[in-house]
C-alpha cells in the first residue's frame, strides 16, 4: 500500500505522537483523515476508537491508526465495529505479523509504552506489509467475522 486514505485519532495522551504519524503518512503520499483529539484536555478513548473503526468499516478510509496511553483501550473500542481488526503493536515484528497473518486494518499504539521511533517503525510495517492470504490465514480471518 503506497497510497490511499488512512484515518487517525488519539485520546488526550497521544496528540503529539498522532501528529508525527500523520506527518509521516502525508510525506508518503497518503490522504490522512485526522479525527482528533488535538490537545491534552481529557477525552474518552472509546469515542475515538469507534470513530476510526467506523471510518474504516464504511470504506471512508482504507486503514486506521489509533493512539492512547497503552493502545489497549482504544483498540478494544475499534474492535467493537464489525469488520475491524485492530492490533496493538509494540514493535515492528508485531506490526508486520498483524498485517501478514491477521490482515489488521487498524494499528493501535500506546504512547506510554513505546517511543516515537518505534512507533514510526510500526507504522512503516503496517503500511508496507501485505496480508499473506492463503487458505489457513483467510480461514482464521473469517472466523473473526
Catalytic residue annotation: 68, 101
The grid coordinates listed for 20 are: 508525527
The grid coordinates listed for 134 are: 492463503
Query: Among 63, 65, 55, which residue's Cα sits nearest to residue 8?
Result: 65
In angstroms, how far apart are the furthest CA atoms of the chain? 46
Interatomic CA distance for residues 144 and 35, integer angstroms: 26
Query: Among 106, 97, 107, which residue's Cα sits nearest to residue 129?
Result: 97
Amino acid at each position: 500500500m503506497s497510497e490511499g486514505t488512512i484515518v487517525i485519532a488519539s485520546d488526550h495522551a497521544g496528540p503529539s505522537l498522532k501528529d508525527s504519524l500523520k506527518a509521516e503518512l502525508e510525506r508518503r503520499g497518503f490522504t490522512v483523515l485526522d479525527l482528533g483529539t488535538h490537545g491534552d484536555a481529557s477525552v474518552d478513548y472509546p469515542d475515538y476508537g469507534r470513530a476510526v473503526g467506523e471510518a474504516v468499516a464504511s470504506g471512508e478510509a482504507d486503514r486506521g491508526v489509533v493512539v492512547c496511553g497503552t493502545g489497549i483501550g482504544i483498540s478494544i473500542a475499534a474492535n467493537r465495529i464489525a469488520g475491524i481488526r485492530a492490533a496493538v503493536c509494540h514493535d515492528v515484528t508485531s506490526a508486520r505479523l498483524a498485517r501478514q497473518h491477521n490482515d489488521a486494518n487498524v494499528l493501535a499504539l500506546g504512547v506510554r509504552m513505546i517511543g516515537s521511533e518505534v512507533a514510526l517503525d510500526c507504522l512503516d510495517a503496517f503500511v508496507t506489509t501485505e496480508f499473506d492470504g492463503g487458505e489457513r490465514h483467510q480461514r482464521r480471518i473469517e472466523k473473526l467475522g
